[in-house]
Structure 1
Amino acid sequence: MGVDASPKRRDSEIIARALAASNVGTWEWRIADDVVRCDPVAATMLGIPRAATGRGTTYAMFFERIHPQDRPRIAAIVGDLQRHGGLYVAQYRAVIAPDDVRWVLARGRFVMGPDGIVSEARGIVIDVTESSRDGFLDPATFCAIDAPGGGIDRVAELALALFTVAESLAIDDFERLKPLIDALLHEIGRQLVVTAAVPASDSVH
């Protein structure tokens, strides 16, 4: 007896269209193997060639897309996180083309394993260009908040942790859950943009 996969395909297509319209993408970096993977939304806003997204690209290729003036700051933040792990929140310019520069807000976590080595990182990236002013982010619009008591920031932390735990499931089980977790992360990204209302900053926690 055959199995009708069309409902599953329709669900996936609906989720994909919703995510594409949200200007929020997901990313992960397998540091040990130096493989960066982005969903199509993140790949587009970061200027990573679409052909490279399926098999992953390198951190060097991703870094080349960051505006030269922002690279030293991002390199310092990432370098510290590679050593110590922790929460990553940063705003920077992604150079898609010489005449197309996008402001993005990235959020994620660098995960330290039981061996004390940071081997992976994952998170979300949000296109915040429309909220910029005169080419710079409006400091009244975005922030790197880390409210330990709750709120959408805490939800973001738990969602990223859920993604990490789900990866330990059987491959088929994880693949069924992943679109739902991705959708949750995208919605969290939208709410982070909407609710942020204090001065912006880059943070490592």
Structure 2
Amino acid sequence: MQNQVTRPVLAFVPDALIASQVGTWETSFAIDRTFSDATTAALFGLDPDEAAKGLPLAAYARSIHPHDRAAFNDKIGRVREHGGLYVVEYRTIPALGDLRWVLARGRYQRDKHTGEITGRGIVIDITENKLDGRIEDRAFFITEEAAESPLDRAAACAIQARQAIDEVDGPEGLGLRRSVDALLLALGRALARRVGALES
């Protein structure tokens, strides 16, 4: 990843969390910047324009529930050192009195030439699922395995498709975003079920 990274900016609407349950993000540890779309920004209570231009990871971590922050930092530290697949659930507080549950899924890879680790992935708002009585059922998973499963490959392709679709304007772009968001949500849930099966 170059030192200058540009991300498409989604039009921000007040009901961003309702419009889409799936956000995308990309992190460069070398420049300490995480770039995200409006949905991800809303889940962390961040300005969508600033999030699209890139913010330090600490800006996102500040919105994570204090009881979940240590586990989040531990897992980020592990992928920062080794790379790999990352699936974790935690709570965010985007605004006073607003508690969200999110499932983050990403893959961190080391550049063969520079040695720098970058990551990209999705974050899914799973608050409604948690309110249905599944608060204690959490996914925490990191693996350094080189081989990707078909679900991992599908999720990576869907993330790339979402980032390209973000550049499509007008009603056509909105319809395509909703379609790919539905796919990302289904993939995220499938990955979470697979993680649960691996941990049981």
Normalising by structure 2, report the TM-score: 0.69
> Kindly tell me: are residues 19 and 70 of structure 1, through their superposed partners in 2, closer, same or farther at Cα, counting changes over 3 Å?
closer
One-letter code of the match for 2:154? V
1:39-188 matches, cutoff 5 A = 39-115=37-113, 117-133=115-131, 137=135, 139=137, 150=150, 152-160=151-159, 163=160, 179=167, 183=177, 186-188=181-183
> Kindly tell me: are residues 29 and 176 of structure 1, through their superposed partners in 2, closer, same or farther at Cα, counting changes over 3 Å?
closer
Aligned equivalents of 1:109, 1:144: Cα separation in 2: 12
- 2:31 corresponds in structure 1 to 33
One-letter code of the match for 2:68? D
1:191 partner SS: helix
One-letter code of the match for 2:64? I
Q: 1:92-140 CA distances to partner (integer Å, 9 max, x unpaired)?
A: 0011123101000001111111047243111110000000037863639
Aligned equivalents of 1:78, 1:176: Cα separation in 2: 26
Aligned equivalents of 1:110, 1:185: Cα separation in 2: 22
2:40 partner SS: helix
- 1:192 corresponds in structure 2 to 187
2:53 partner SS: coil
Aligned equivalents of 1:201, 1:56: Cα separation in 2: 35
Does the CA contact (< 8 Å) of 2:17 and 2:42 recur in 1?
Answer: no
Aligned equivalents of 1:176, 1:66: Cα separation in 2: 28
Aligned equivalents of 1:123, 1:199: Cα separation in 2: 16
Does the CA contact (< 8 Å) of 2:83 and 2:107 recur in 1?
Answer: yes
Does the CA contact (< 8 Å) of 1:124 and 1:185 recur in 2?
Answer: no
- State the 1:149 CA deviation: 5.2
Alignment root-mean-square deviation, CA? 3.9
Which blocks of at least 5 consecutive residues in structure 1 are unaligned? 1-11, 167-174
- State the 1:187 CA deviation: 3.5
